[in-house]
């Protein structure tokens, strides 16, 4: 019964994490459409990439005992592909100074993971010590990933707008962290449960912040639409004026 419940929670955690990793698709469709990264930050995606690398490695039989953490491997393996895609798109449309930042961060993440993976294989020869090493670093990366949307919190509070703090990223972050916290507790694995004990409250905080300032975001969007309509209307009026003058001249 316990194993079945753990597996069920793991499957639900997979579904929530898939939605979390896929949530930025809406953001990046906007980036591609506008051909600009605007005020969006690349930090959440590079940290999420590191988290996926570490927990994919953690779940593999090299670190874990056999295939006891299959759900962890499947979802984080998919997360690697998605996060790499997002980082690549961000790099393509970022300004020159931001491109350097993305390149440095991504390279550091990949090299850092390679060092950790090699160290865990060659410095330790049993699963328990490998889990301690990879799990401890993964714990820090997970807390950073769940807290990374807080990078824009200062901007949200100053501008009183949630335009650059995606709602679905915060929602699915809360759902995923809550489910993986339950999975970790059922598995008696503190390295899976601990970071989510932090991630779940952070997700709640982000959702509360969004609820507080979301109306301002909608008002700003409305003002932008009204301004665009006003511009188009004035443009149409400017086009009509020469026509009226031409008709008046011909009548004379």
Residue 2's pLDDT is what? 67
* Segment 123-149 mean pLDDT: 85
- DSSP 8-class letter at 65: S
Q: With a cut of 90, say whether residue 200 has pLDDT above it.
A: no
Tokens standing for residue 64: 């874990």
Under the banding of pLDDT at 50, 70 and 90, the label for residue 219 is very low
The dihedral over CA atoms of 9, 13, 15, 16, expressed in degrees to the nearest 10, equals 130
Nearest Cα to Cα of residue 105 among 88, 81, 82: 88
3-state secondary structure of 153: helix
CA 176 to chain centre: 12
* pTM across the whole model: 0.73
* DSSP reduced 3-state for 165: coil
Q: How many residues does the chain have?
A: 252
- Rounded alpha-carbon distances, angstroms, from residue 204 to 209, 210, 251: 9, 10, 70
Q: How many alpha carbons lie under 13 Å from residue 177 in its C-beta half-sphere? A: 25
Please state the separation of Cα 119 from the chain's center in Å. 28
pLDDT confidence tier of residue 217, bands split at 50, 70 and 90: low
Q: Please name the residue that has the structure tokens 């949307």.
A: 149
Domains of the chain, by residue range, sit at: 1-215
The pLDDT tens digits of the residues spanning 13-60 come to 888 888 888 888 888 998 999 999 887 878 888 988 999 999 999 999
Q: How much is the pLDDT for 77?
A: 92
Residue 48: helix, strand or coil by DSSP? helix
Distance CA 14, CA 20 (A): 10
């Amino acid at each position: 019964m316990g194993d079945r419940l753990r597996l069920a929670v793991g499957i639900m955690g997979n579904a929530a994490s898939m939605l979390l990793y896929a949530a930025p698709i809406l953001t990046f469709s906007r980036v591609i459409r506008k051909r600009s990264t605007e005020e969006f930050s690349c930090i959440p995606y590079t940290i999420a990439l590191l988290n996926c690398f570490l927990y994919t490695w953690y779940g593999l039989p090299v670190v874990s005992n056999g295939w006891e953490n299959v759900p962890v491997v499947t979802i984080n393996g998919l997360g690697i592909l998605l996060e790499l895609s997002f980082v690549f798109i961000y790099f393509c449309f970022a300004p020159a100074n931001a491109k350097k930042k993305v390149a440095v961060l991504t390279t550091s993440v990949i090299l850092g993971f390679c060092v950790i993976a090699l160290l865990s294989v060659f410095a330790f020869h049993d699963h328990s010590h490998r889990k301690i090493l990879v799990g401890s670093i993964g714990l820090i990366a997970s807390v950073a990933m769940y807290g990374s949307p807080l990078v824009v919190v200062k901007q949200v509070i100053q501008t009183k707008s949630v335009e650059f703090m995606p709602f679905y990223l915060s929602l699915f972050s809360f759902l995923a962290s809550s489910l993986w916290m339950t999975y970790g507790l059922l598995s008696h694995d503190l390295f899976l449960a601990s970071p989510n004990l932090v991630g779940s409250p952070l997700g709640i905080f982000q959702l509360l912040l969004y609820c507080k300032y979301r109306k301002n975001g909608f008002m700003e969007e409305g003002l932008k639409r009204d301004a665009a309509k006003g511009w188009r209307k004035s443009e149409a009026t400017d086009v009509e004026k020469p026509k009226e003058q031409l008709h008046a001249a011909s009548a004379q």
